[in-house]
Amino acid sequence: MHPPAITTPLQFISFYKFVQIPDPDACCALLHKITQGLLGSILVAHEGINGMLAASGEALDQFEKSLSEDPRFESRFTGIHFKRSECRTQPFGRLKIKHKPEIVPLGIPDVDATSKTGIDLDPEQWRELIAQDDVVLLDNRNSFEFRLGRFRNAIDPGVTNFRDFSRYVEEHLDEWKSSGKKVAMYCTGGIRCEKTSAWMLDLGMPVYQLKGGILNFFEKLPDAERDWEGECFVFDNRIALDTKLRETDTTAADVYGDHPDEVWRLQRAERLNDSE
What is the average per-residue pLDDT within 211-221? 97
The Cα–Cα gap between 268 and 105 comes to 19
Out of 27, 28, 87, 187, the active site residue is 187
Evaluate whether 16 touches 191 at the Cβ level (below 8 Å). yes
Q: Is 80 exceeded by the pLDDT of residue 190?
A: yes
232 in catalytic set: no
Domains (range + CATH), the chain: 5-99 (3.30.70.100), 119-275 (3.40.250.10)
Burial bucket for residue 258 (CB in 10 Å: 0-12, 13-18, 19+):
exposed
What is the average per-residue pLDDT within 166-194? 95
pLDDT tens, position by position, 66-118: 999 999 999 999 999 999 998 989 999 999 999 999 999 888 888 999 999 99
User: Beta 149-151 vs 228-230: how paired, if at all?
Assistant: antiparallel
